[in-house]
Amino acid sequence: MNKEISITINGEVYQQSVPIRMLLVDFIRDIAGLTGTHVACTYEGVCGACTIHVDGEAVKSCLMLAVQADRRTITTIEGLAIHGKLHPLQKAFNDHHALQCGFCSAGILMNMAEFIRTNRKPTEAEIRNALVGNLCRCTGYAHIVDAIKEVVGDAGSTGAVHQ
């Protein structure tokens, strides 16, 4: 019923015995105390507010059990800025007013942080399509898309990508 696991989150190792049924998002929020990752749907896993990186790839942490992340490396929103230096997306979101209530923002930032790393010059349609797994109720998405466009514009021209 319980299993001893070891998960690295934002560079820190968490070793814990947890119920097998514990969701990864609950491990992150309740055990590691990192509440930046949010839960906004029940079991359907549609909203994307729980998006984190597992070994650098964006996944929904509500659709995984904590035991499935044993010996794996997780990055949450709290780990996106490195040594206090904001990720270009975090800065662009502020400049473009790409968040209102902010509840969806962590999930979007984590998803897009991977997306822009693997898609150097996306079109607006590709950006919007990449955002399908993140529901936002407040912004209508327009400023989010603007913020991402600015960052990929920069990434495309200089070739430098943060993280």
Partner 1 sequence: MYPAIIENYDAPTSVHDALQALAKRGNESYFVAGGQSLMQAIKARVISPKSLIDLQHVTELKGIEYNKGAVRIGAMTRYRDIAADERLDGAYQALRDAARHVGDRQVRNRGTIGGSLCWNYIAACMPPTCIGIGASLDLVSRAGRRSLLAEAFLQGPLETARRDDEIVVAVTLPAAPMMCGSAYKKWGLVNDALPVVGVCASVELGDDRRCRVARLAIGGLATGPRRAEAGEKALIGVSATDASAISNAAETAAASTETQSDIWADAEYRKKLIETLAREVIATAFARAERGKHS
Partner 2 sequence: MNHVAKQPGWVGRQFNRKEDHRLTTGKGQYFADIVVPGMLHLVFVRSKHAHARIKRIDISAAKAIPGVVAVVTGEDIRGAIKSLPQPVVVPALPARYPTFWPLAVDKVKFNGEPVVAVVARDKYVAEDAADAVEIEYEPLPYVGNMEDALMPGSPVVHDGWENNEMFALTFTGGATPDSQATNDAEVDHLITSADIVVKSRYRVHRCGVTPLEPRGALATWDDADGMVAWITTQRPHIDRLAMSDVLDIPTEKLRVIAPRDQGGAFGVKAPFYREPILVCYMARKLGRPVRWLETREEHLMSVSQERDQIHDLEIGATKEGRIVALRDRGLADNGDGCEGVYWGYLMPFLGAALLPNAYDLPKCDIKIRVACTNKAVLSPARSFGAYPTRFAVERAIDRLAHRLNKDPADVRRLNLIASLPYVTATGVHYDSGDFLKVWDYLIKTIDLPKFRAEQREAWQRGHYIGVGFGVGAELSGVASSVLVPMENQPGYGAATVRLDPRGKVQVFEGDAPAGQGHESSMAQVVAQEFGIHPNDVTVTHGDTSTTPFGSGTIGARAGSYTMSAIAMACRVLKKKIARVMAHDLKLEADPDDFVFVDGNIIFTKSNNVRKTFREVVERIIMAPLNLPSGETGGLEYTAFFEADAPMICFSAHAAFVEVDANSGQIKLTRYVTSEDVGTVINPQIVEAQVQGGVVQGISNCLFEQFIYDDNGQQLTSTFENYKLATAADVPSVEVHHEAGTPCPHTPLGSRGLGEGIPGPVPGALTNAVCDALKPFGIEIDELPLRPDRVWRALKEANRPAAAE
Which residues pair with residue 5 across a beta bridge? 16
From residue 33 to residue 52, the character string flagging contacts with partner 1 as x (rule: CB under 8 A) and all else as - is: ---------xxxx--x--x-
State how far the alpha carbon of 130 is from the alpha carbons of 28, 61, 65, 156, in Å.
24, 18, 24, 17
Min dist CB 147 to partner 2, Å, is 10
Question: Side chain identity at 52, as an amino acid letter?
Answer: I
Residue 79: count other Cβ atoms within 10 Å of its Cβ. 18
Helices (H), the chain: 24-26, 88-95, 105-118, 124-130, 142-158
Contact between 16 and 5 under an 8 Å Cβ cutoff? The reply is yes
Q: Is residue 124 classed exposed, middle or buried when 0-12, 13-18 and 19+ CB atoms within 10 A define those classes?
A: exposed
Q: Compare residues 33 and 159 and give the one whose CB is closer to partner 2.
A: 33
**Residue 125 in contact with partner 2, rule: CB under 8 A:** yes
Q: Which residues, 97 to 136, sit near partner 1 by CB under 8 A?
A: 111, 115, 129-130, 132-134
Q: Which residue, 89 or 155, has its beta carbon nearer to partner 2?
A: 89
Q: By CB under 8 A, which span of 53-61, 63-71, 101-109, 151-159 interacts with partner 2?
A: 101-109
Number of shown-chain residues binding partner 2 (CB under 8 A)? 58
Binding site for partner 1 (CB under 8 A): 1, 3, 19-21, 23, 42-45, 48, 51, 57-60, 62-65, 67-68, 70, 111, 115, 129-130, 132-134
